[in-house]
Amino acid sequence: MKSTLVFAMSCVGVVGYAHAASEADIRNLHMATEQLNGSLPVVQSDGTRVEKVKVGPGYVWTFTRTHLQSVYSDELKNRIQRNEIAGVKEQFCGQFASFNVLKKGLITRFVFVDKNGKLIASTEIAMESCRQ
């Protein structure tokens, strides 16, 4: 997931340094998403697969990640909330390119599903999330 996030932020990092997303920023987000989706799905070493990235509504993008060997359980949900969501947030908030787009209002959603497509957990990262 880390390499996918680094690539994602390098793609969308071209949006600049202003404090509000413009139409050009949203177009750049769409272009970055198309580029990302061209290399997806990608199986990660931890037995998960980054499926796709979606844009919208507005200055929002959503990453969907599938746990290939797992079906929904409270234990799995708790593990994802405790470990993976914290890890994704740390990776995302720790990147300089992320900071530049977050300060323009980008919201990034991470959705975790089981091998049958059932929602396990999700999180949103915005500028406020990275300050916590």
Q: Report pLDDT for 81.
A: 87
pTM: 0.79
Contact of 64 with 50, CB cutoff 8 Å: yes
Q: Report pLDDT for 18.
A: 40
Instruction: Count H helices and E strands in the chain, helices first.
Output: 6, 5
Q: Report pLDDT for 102.
A: 84
pLDDT per 10-residue tile (average), the chain, 132 residues: 53 47 86 93 89 91 91 90 86 78 88 93 89 70
Can you list the pairs that 19-27 forms with residues at least 24 positions away whose Cβ atoms lie under 8 Å? 19/103, 19/104, 20/104, 20/105, 21/58, 21/59, 21/104, 21/105, 21/106, 25/59, 25/101, 25/104, 26/55, 26/58, 26/59
Q: Report pLDDT for 36.
A: 92
